[in-house]
Structure 1
């Protein structure tokens, strides 16, 4: 005799517990994204001085640099030539192949 979904031993008894509400799924996905985020690194004064030397040499020779920066919990890379440093707005003006990008001092992590 064939049992129904409520028959003991049938997996179908708990089938409805596999359902997830769209709101719960969205919240779970948001939580997963938050877990992937990295904390903002803080650069010490000695590291800032090293970056200043690298940047000054590159600006003098018009060399292209590889910038690594942190934004909203994730690290990004950009390659270009820094042609202006705006101390008033605290940002670098970086000329890339796609145009000018603006990089805030506080987001900078590494220059090579």
Structure 2
């Protein structure tokens, strides 16, 4: 009798993964690691707004934690502009500047 037909030989001899299968496995792992947006208490929102305004007026460096589905992003810099209309603000750092939406903020701390 052939070795392929004994024990687990049939499955061991036919290992093959299609690109579609690999993509679906990677996508499934991404969905498994996805986070939900945290709810922020009203008191914490006031602290966030105070820290942003303080950085704007006194040119203090802040650390902003921005929500991302897979891993939170941390942006450090000085607030240079606030847009009430677009509900975002601009942070200046060594790489240039970034606009951050108020809805995406998790926390704001001073450096």
Aligned with 2:35 (options 33, 38, 41):
38
**1:8-36 deviation per Cα after TM superposition (whole angstroms, max 9, x unaligned):** 24x42222553222211101101101211
Provide the C-alpha distance between the structure 2 equivalents of 1:90 and 1:35, rounded to a whole number of angstroms: 31
* Deviation (angstroms), 1:7: 4.2
Aligned with 2:16 (options 15, 19, 25):
19
Is there any run of 5+ residues in structure 1 with no aligned partner, and where? Answer: none
Relative distance call for 1:69 and 1:50 in structure 2 (3 A) is same
What residue is the counterpart of 2:105 in the other structure?
A: 108
Q: Which entry has the higher C-alpha Rg, 1 or 2?
A: 1
What is the TM-score of this pair, normalised by structure 1? 0.85
* Deviation (angstroms), 1:72: 4.0
Is there any run of 5+ residues in structure 2 with no aligned partner, and where? Answer: none
Query: How well do the aligned residues superpose, as a CA RMSD in angstroms?
Result: 1.8
Provide the C-alpha distance between the structure 2 equivalents of 1:94 and 1:38, rounded to a whole number of angstroms: 25
Provide the C-alpha distance between the structure 1 equivalents of 2:19 and 2:6, rounded to a whole number of angstroms: 30
What is the TM-score of this pair, normalised by structure 2? 0.85
